[in-house]
Structure 1
Amino acid sequence: MTSAQRLAGLMVAQALALSSAPLMVFIGGLIGAQLHPDPSFSTLPIAAMIIGMASAVWPASRLAGRYGRRPVFVGAMLVGVVSSLLAAFVVYQFSFWGFTASAWLFGCVGAVIQQFRFLAMSFVPQDQQASAASKLLLAGLASAFIGPELSSLAEYFPALGFAAAFVGLSLCMLLAGVVLLFVVPVKTSVNTAIKEAEPRSWPELFRQPDLILAMSAAAVAYVVMSFVMTATPLSMTTLSGHDVGDAKWIIQSHIVAMFLPSLFTGRLVGYFGIHRVMLVGLLLFVCSLCIGAYDESLLHYLGSLILLGVGWNFLFVTGTALLAQCYQSGDAAKVQGMNDMLVFGTQAIGSLGSGAILLMFGWQALLLIAATGLVWLALVMSWNYHLRHNN
C-alpha cells in the first residue's frame, strides 16, 4: 500500500471516529438537561469529554511508543464501540452519571485519534509534513457533518430517542477500526525510525527554541479558540439578544473556517515557510479579537469567528509541523505526549472557564483575557526570531 493510500485511509478513519466530538457538542447538553433535574449540570458530560481527552493524551502517546501504533489505534476504536453502546444504553435508561462516564471515554478515544496526525506525517518527507497534517484536519470537516447527522437517527427510531445516535456512532467507530487495520503498518511504532537514537532529557529537548515555539503555537491556538468559541453562543443569545438560530449558523461557519483552509495550508507552508504562516495565524487571531470587541452585531460575530477558525488552522498546522522537526526517534513518544497534554489541557481550561467569565465580566473582558495568550505567543515568536537570525 502506498503512502498516499495510507494517508487517505487515515483521513477516512479520522472522519468516522472523530464524529463523536461534534455529536456530543450538538446533543450532549440536550441529553444532560433531560437526564438531570438541575440545568447547571447539563453541560457536564461535554466537560467530561474534554477532561477525558486531556487526561489520556500522555498515556496514549506512551502506549503507542511502547506497543506500536497499530494495536493502540485499533484498540481505541474498540473502546469507542463499547463506549458508544454504553452511551446508548445509559441514555435509554435515563442515567445521567452513566452518560457522563461514557462521555469521558469518548474523550479518551479522542486522545488517541489526535495521534493520527503524527502517523500521517511519518508517511511523507519532512517538506511535506505540514501538508499531511493539514489533510488530516480536513477530515474534521467531514466529522463536523457526520456527527450532528447521527442525531437524526432519533427521528427514525423514536422509541430509542437519542440513544439511536450512539448506536450509529458505534458503527462509525467499528468501521474506523477496520480501516485502521489495513492502513496502519503492522510494525509501526512511534520510536522505530532510528533504533539507535537515545532519548534525550527534557532540559536538552527544551534547549531547542523551535520546540517551545511549536508547543506554544498549538496550545495558544486551542485555548484561545476554545475560550472564545465556547462563549460565543451564550454571548450572542444572552447578552446581545440574537436568536439561537443565528448563533447556530455562526458556529457552523466557524467550524468550516477551522477545517476548510486545510485544502491549502500545507502548500502555503511549503511556499512561505512554517514561521511566516504561523505569524499570519497570529495576526488573524488579533484581527478576530479586534472585530469581536468593536461591536456585537451579527456581522461582527461572524467575521470574528471566521477569522478565529482560519487563524486556529494556521497555528495548529504550523505548530504540529514544527514539532515534528524537534524530536528524534527516541524522544518521539514523550515529546508528542507532552505536546498534546499541554494543548488539550489548556483547551479544557479554556472551555470550562469561558462561560463563567463571560457571565461575570462580559464579552469585552473575555476577549481581553483571550488576548493574553496572543501576547505570550508573540513574545515567544520574537524570541525565536532573534535566536534564529543571530545564530
Structure 2
Amino acid sequence: MNRTLVVLTLAACMAQTGAPIVVLLGGIIGAELAPSPGLATLPVALMILGTAASTIPASFIMRRFGRRKGFLFAASYAVVAGLLAAFAVQTAAFWLLCTATFLIGSHNAFVQQYRFAVAESVPAARLGRSLSVLMLAGVVAAYLGPKTATLLQDLVPSAVYAGSFLGLSVLMAGAGMVLSFYVPDSCDSEVDDRGGRSLWQIAQQLDFKIAIVASVAAWSIMSLLMTATPVAMHHLDQFSMIDTAWVIQSHIMAMFLPSLVSGLLLDRVGPLRMITAGAGILIVCLGVAFAGRHLMHYWWALVLLGIGWNFMYLGGTALLTRTYEANERFKVQACNDFIVFAMQAVAALSSGFFLFSFGWSWLVYLSAGVLIVPLALVGYKQLALKGLKA
C-alpha cells in the first residue's frame, strides 16, 4: 500500500464527515429557520451546489499549484466554514447557514480529487482495490460525522446543533494535519498537461458518456432520496432524531462498506457490469421506497440506495480513467465532476420542492426516470460489443 493511498485514506476519514453532518442536520435546522417550508432542504442543496461550482476551480488550483497545496487550502477554509455554520445556528441566520454549507460543499470538490490522486499513483491492475480502500474511509466518516453531530448538539446551551458544527471544524483541522504528510508522486509533477485532444473529441467516446451518465444517475438518485429523508422522517412522519440519525448513518455506511468487496468485483467483472449491478440494486431500492414509509422501509431503501450508489459510482470512475491520456486528466476530471455535481445539485434543490408539493412517491418516480438513461447506454454498448464479436 503506497504512501499516497494511506495518507489520503486517513485524511478522507475526517474530510468526508462534512457531508453526513450537513445531510443529517441541514434539513432539520432549515425547517426551523427557513422563511418557507419549501426552502427547508436548501442548506443541503447549497452544499451540493458548492461542490458543483468548485469542481473546475479545484481542478485549476491543482494544476496550477499542485494537489498538496490544493488539499491543504480546502481543509483550511472548511475549518472556517464549520465555525461560520455554528455562528449561523446560534444567531438563527438561515442565509448565513446556507453560505456555510456552500463552503463545506466547495471543500468536498477538493476531497473528490483524492480518488484521482490515488488512481494516478497505482498500476491499472490495482486500481479497483485501491479505490475501494479509499472509499472505505467513508465508513469511518459515516460513523464519525453523525456521531459527532449528535454528541455535541447541546455543547452550546443557547443553540442546539451549534456544537455539532464546532465539531465539524475540529474534524476538518484533523484532516489538514494528516494532509501535511501528503507527498505527490513524481508522475504528478512530471506530466505536461498541455495539449492532448479537445474535450469535444474525448466526449465522443461511448465509454466517456456511459461513465458520466452512470455517475450522474448514482449521485442524482442518491441526492433526491437522501436529502429528503431526514425531513420526511423527522419533520413529516414524526420519527425521533435517534431513528432519523440511524437511517442516515446506515445509508452512508452502506455507501462505502461495500468497498470491501466492490473493488475486487470491479477488477474481476469490469466497469460495465458493475454499473449494471448498481442499477439493479437501485431498482430494488425504489421498490422498497415506494412500498411504504415505516421505519424499516426508510432503512432498507436508504441502505440499498447506498450499495447501488457504490457500485455505479465506482464503475463510472474506473470507466472514466480509460477515456483520457495523462496530459488530458485535469480537464476531463474537472468536466466529469462539474457535470456530476451540477446535476446532483439540481436533484437536491428539487428534492424539498417535490417532497412538500407532491409527496414522497414523486421522488421515487423521478429517480426511476433518471435510472433509465445509464441502463439504455450500457445496453447499447453491450449490443455493439456483441455485434463486433459476431
TM-score calculated relative to the size of structure 2: 0.89
Equivalent-residue separation in structure 2 for 1:364 and 1:82 (angstroms):
38
The structural deviation recorded for 1:123 is 1.8
Contact (CA 8 Å) 1:68, 1:188: kept in 2 or not? Answer: no
The structural deviation recorded for 1:235 is 4.5
Contact (CA 8 Å) 1:14, 1:113: kept in 2 or not? Answer: yes
Paired residue for 2:52, among 40, 46, 54? 54
When residues 135 and 214 of structure 1 are mapped into structure 2, their CA distance, relative to the original with a 3 A threshold, is: same
Equivalent-residue separation in structure 1 for 2:234 and 2:22 (angstroms):
21
Equivalent position of 2:361 in the other structure: 364
Show CA shifts across 1:166-200 (max 9, x none).
333223222212211212327674xx464387321
Paired residue for 2:96, among 89, 95, 98? 98
The one-letter amino acid of 1:179's match is V
Equivalent-residue separation in structure 2 for 1:36 and 1:232 (angstroms):
18
Show CA shifts across 1:275-298 (max 9, x none).
222211111111222233344444
Show CA shifts across 1:253-280 (max 9, x none).
2222111101111011112222222211
When residues 141 and 34 of structure 1 are mapped into structure 2, their CA distance, relative to the original with a 3 A threshold, is: same
Show CA shifts across 1:86-125 (max 9, x none).
3334444443333322221111111111111111111211
The one-letter amino acid of 2:119's match is M
Equivalent position of 2:375 in the other structure: 378
Equivalent position of 2:130 in the other structure: 132
Paired residue for 2:85, among 68, 75, 87? 87
Contact (CA 8 Å) 1:58, 1:338: kept in 2 or not? Answer: yes
The structural deviation recorded for 1:205 is 0.2
Equivalent position of 2:218 in the other structure: 221
Equivalent position of 1:22 in the other structure: 20
Show CA shifts across 1:349-381 (max 9, x none).
111212322333333333222111111111110
Contact (CA 8 Å) 2:41, 2:351: kept in 1 or not? Answer: no
Show CA shifts across 1:38-79 (max 9, x none).
555444322221211111112111221232111111111111
The one-letter amino acid of 2:135's match is L
The structural deviation recorded for 1:23 is 1.7
> Among the aligned pairs, what percent are the same residue?
38
Query: Secondary structure of the equivalent of 2:2?
Result: helix
The one-letter amino acid of 2:228's match is A
Equivalent-residue separation in structure 2 for 1:341 and 1:168 (angstroms):
29
When residues 166 and 287 of structure 1 are mapped into structure 2, their CA distance, relative to the original with a 3 A threshold, is: closer
Equivalent position of 2:175 in the other structure: 176
When residues 33 and 234 of structure 1 are mapped into structure 2, their CA distance, relative to the original with a 3 A threshold, is: closer
Equivalent-residue separation in structure 1 for 2:126 and 2:185 (angstroms):
23
Q: Is the deviation greater in 300-309 or in 122-131?
A: 300-309
Equivalent position of 1:117 in the other structure: 115
When residues 142 and 275 of structure 1 are mapped into structure 2, their CA distance, relative to the original with a 3 A threshold, is: same
When residues 217 and 28 of structure 1 are mapped into structure 2, their CA distance, relative to the original with a 3 A threshold, is: same
Equivalent-residue separation in structure 2 for 1:29 and 1:299 (angstroms):
21
Contact (CA 8 Å) 1:193, 1:329: kept in 2 or not? Answer: no
TM-score calculated relative to the size of structure 1: 0.89
Q: Is the deviation greater in 375-384 or in 37-46?
A: 37-46
* Pairs aligned (count): 386
1:208 and 2:184 correspond: no
Equivalent-residue separation in structure 1 for 2:68 and 2:235 (angstroms):
46
Query: Secondary structure of the equivalent of 1:264?
Result: helix
Equivalent-residue separation in structure 2 for 1:334 and 1:120 (angstroms):
17
Paired residue for 1:147, among 145, 167, 185? 145
Equivalent-residue separation in structure 1 for 2:113 and 2:289 (angstroms):
33
Point out 4+ residue stretches in structure 1 off by more than 6 angstroms.
none
Paired residue for 2:229, among 194, 211, 232? 232
The one-letter amino acid of 1:243's match is F
Q: Is the deviation greater in 251-260 or in 35-44?
A: 35-44
1:158 and 2:154 correspond: no
Q: Cα RMSD (Å) of the superposition?
A: 2.6
Equivalent-residue separation in structure 2 for 1:386 and 1:46 (angstroms):
40
Equivalent position of 1:243 in the other structure: 239
Equivalent position of 1:306 in the other structure: 303
1:322 and 2:319 correspond: yes
The structural deviation recorded for 1:20 is 1.6
Contact (CA 8 Å) 2:13, 2:140: kept in 1 or not? Answer: yes
Contact (CA 8 Å) 1:253, 1:306: kept in 2 or not? Answer: yes
Equivalent position of 1:4 in the other structure: 2
Equivalent-residue separation in structure 2 for 1:232 and 1:40 (angstroms):
14
Give the gaps of 5 or more residues in structure 2.
none
Equivalent-residue separation in structure 1 for 2:5 and 2:169 (angstroms):
23
Equivalent position of 1:352 in the other structure: 349
Give the gaps of 5 or more residues in structure 1.
none
Q: Is the deviation greater in 143-152 or in 336-345?
A: 143-152
Q: Is the deviation greater in 354-363 or in 216-225?
A: 354-363
Equivalent position of 1:70 in the other structure: 68
The one-letter amino acid of 2:383's match is H
The structural deviation recorded for 1:247 is 4.3
